[in-house]
Chains A and B, each alone.
Chain A
Amino acid sequence: MSVPQVAAALALGIEWSRPSGLLLLGPAALLLLLARRSARPVERVTATFDLWEDAMRRIPPAPRTRRLPPLPVVFAAVAITCAALALAGPRIVGSDPPRVFTILCDRSPSTSLPLQPGRTRFEVALEACLSELARRAGSTDRVRWRSQDRETLELPVGVKPPASWFARPAAFLPEIEWEREDRPGFLWVTDRVPTPSPSHALVFASGGRGVPGPVASRGGERVVWREGGLRVEPAPGRVVELRGVEAGRLGPLARLLTIWARERGFELRGGQERERALLIEAGRGAGETRELRIAGGSLGWGLAGTGGAGGIAELPEGAQVWRFGEASGGEAPILVAGSPGRVLLAFDGVRSVEGDPALFALAWSRFLDRWVLPAPGVVPLDERRDAGAASWDEWSEDRFEEVPRVGAGRGETTSADLLAPALAGIGVLFATLAILLSGGGISWLRGRLPASRTRT
């Protein structure tokens, strides 16, 4: 323990993680009071009081002596006091590294559904989470913000990520694998209580009734869940926009895009469109134009064409990168990249497809499907269903103690952590002394001495 920590302790700069343990100070105080009371002279009533007064007048007074409680009782009281302080979990203010909490935000489509006027399920759950956090977190603690699609941010308690971090995801996000995220200090913000219940994390589930609305779309139609049934309704069509080169320069790739768009109910067009399902930007390769080639695709297909030799320089946030192409020493240029609603190509021209053309079509259609934006307002049916009742967890003392600290791994001991064990040790020492100094303790000790056994 450092000198400042000792000073803080002397200045009572101590906080208690289990203040209820201090209740044990009551018996200690009671013990001392009783001992002090027993140490006081016995009061007796006498009819010869005047004789005692006369006797006292004839004897010179002696200085008053204060009788202390018996030493074993004092030691026992000290032992109880130490035990009480140790149980209360003393912690010197400022001595512990800050805790690190992790708010795991479920950004799956259902959390964006409205729960209250002007508020989504996610917003209600997040408010409950922040309320519990404010109740227990210290001013120096940190909060890590995580979600399926956002960069993790670590911020001080009380500071929220910018509004853009909470923006509605452009694409459907996969469900969080909750069991992998059941860790100390984690706070799950979602709309329905995950199963099984977590052992370490706290759950803040908004709940919410089912929300009718579009659940799927295709071409000029959409499927709407309403009054317990599904209905097909007309909807405005959407387009796939090709930007950067004319479709004819992409040769076999352009033909694939046309077929794929038609099969998905989209229209492949150039120019800016309002109801756009996907934007394909060709010719994004940087540097000198030269031959580009993708060989050994995931299913064994290949692609040959021209484009910027440096590959795609500026990648969109969260892009899935395909590092295809001939290795020419060093890191291969990025030729194809995707992000929700957007696909980038380093190619400004495609000459031929290599390998099995069917496998080429299959690989590319999967890639394109992945980045198509959902139709406005469409939320999958399972997500729209009833999310159950709201459920807010609170920290138990045990779970709160599990919350990791900055720079201290789990199970790692800091000097401040030694305060409670040290008090417990002192308590045991004084308890032992109290027993030994009491008559019973001495008798017990004598009874175990070999010499005394021999004598008896």
Chain B
Amino acid sequence: MKPIEARTERGRRAPPLPSPGVRFGEGFLDRLGRLALRVRSRRERREGGGEARLLGGGMEFVGFRPYRPGEDLRRLDWNLFARHRRPFVRVSRRESSERWSVLLDRSASMGTGFPGKLQLAAEVVLGLKAAANIEGAEVDLHLMVRGEPHRHRGRGAALAEWMELLESTEARGRGGLARLLAEPGRFKDARALFLVGDLADLQPADIPRLTRSGRDILLVQVLAPEERDPTRLPEATHGDAVRWADPESTGVRTVRLDAHALAEYERGLGARLEAWRAIAAHHRVSFTTVTSDTPFEAVVERVFAR
């Protein structure tokens, strides 16, 4: 059966979002504490065995570890190389002055999914904050507030303050990551740049201009389960029609979820994800795609594992 004709309705109101808000449950802080312990343990292992990401020069020196192919040659210790004829890189603890910037997408498209994408994104942001505290980094949160980019300074900020801020946030409007990235001066001194959102308003070509020497860029793409895999929907089981609505415009498309439509969607999504992965690999940017029903701990750990 072919999909039925799609159309766009003009003048209709934006549809209601299924999960626009953020709420941290009672057990969230416990989960966050356990995550912090795991991050700390991972960091200690890293300092001994060594991973390269998020550990760079100009920091408090803690030791050496063997060089891995692809690592920045500037971190190679030439003296050790000359002495042992084997490559080693310097391992250092981050200095207290190191700054991370977390850019959170809170546009209307983040209100989709169940649980909501913004919910998981907010939980990930807090996970990053906890990790930053362990790493000794200072982290700023960037998000749109009343239509304007807003930076929430992380210096000395308590976790509770961040939680309160995020709980007052709601997915709304069209201002996503693209609007935040339009003012790069706000995070020019960021040693690590985290982009957390569905990346719906970004193109892979936007990433290269963010790179700079010594900066780590980490993309966390959060998709709704049905966005990642529409075959999960009950309509896909029976080949029924779904009226798709764009949360950030008045567009609607009625699509019968038959095999043809699902295959075409899967092809389009696969191509888009592949483009992101390719640009990320080329510019040594961390790229993680998760669905909003993924536990935030797994997301944070996956980000730091790269």
Contacts and interface: CB of A to CB of B under 8 A. Distances in A.
A63 B253 contact: no
A45 interface: yes
A47 B245 contact: no
Contact of A42 (B17, B110, B243, B265): B243
A222 to B, nearest CB: 92
B200 A47 contact: yes
Nearest to A67: B241
A59 B3 contact: yes
Interface string A51-77: 111111011111111010000000000
A48 interface: yes
Contacts of A274: none
Nearest to B234: A42
Contacts of B245: 43-46, 49
A41 B243 contact: yes
Given A47-B109, A49-B251, A41 B240 contact: yes
B253 A53 contact: yes
A62 B4 contact: yes
A40 interface: yes
Contact of B227 (A41, A43, A48, A58): A48
A49 B50 CA distance: 42
B6 A47 contact: no
A45 B111 contact: yes
B13 to A, nearest CB: 12
Contacts of B265: 48, 51-52, 55
Interface in B225-259: 226-227, 233, 235, 240-247, 249, 251-256
A47 B111 CA distance: 9
B279 interface: no
Given A41-B241, A45-B111, A56 B18 contact: no
A106 to B, nearest CB: 72
Given A47-B112, A62-B3, A52 B253 contact: yes
Nearest to A54: B268
Given A41-B243, A44-B243, A45-B245, A51 B5 contact: no
Contacts of A49: 244-247, 249, 251, 253
B254 A47 contact: no
B224 A47 contact: yes
A55 B112 CA distance: 20
Nearest to B6: A56
B177 to A, nearest CB: 12
Contacts of A53: 6, 251, 253
Contacts of B246: 45-46, 49-50
Interface string B102-128: 000000011110000100000000000
Interface in B1-56: 1-6, 15-18
B215 to A, nearest CB: 27
B196 to A, nearest CB: 14
B59 interface: no
Nearest to B253: A52
Interface in A288-327: none
Contact of B3 (A43, A44, A50, A56): A56
Nearest to B265: A55
A59 B15 contact: no
B161 interface: no
B251 A51 contact: no
Contacts of A45: 15-18, 111-112, 244-247
B5 A59 contact: no
Nearest to A53: B253
A63 B227 CA distance: 26
B227 A62 contact: no
Shortest beta-carbon contacts, A-B, top 7: A62-B2, A47-B109, A55-B264, A49-B246, A41-B241, A41-B243, A43-B243
Interface of A: 40-56, 58-65, 67
Interface of B: 1-6, 15-18, 109-112, 117, 198, 200, 223-224, 226-227, 233, 235, 240-247, 249, 251-256, 260-261, 264-265, 267-269, 272
Given A43-B244, A43-B245, A62-B1, 17 more contacts: A41-B254, A44-B243, A44-B245, A45-B16, A45-B247, A46-B244, A47-B224, A49-B249, A50-B246, A51-B268, A54-B268, A55-B268, A56-B261, A58-B264, A59-B261, A61-B6, A63-B5
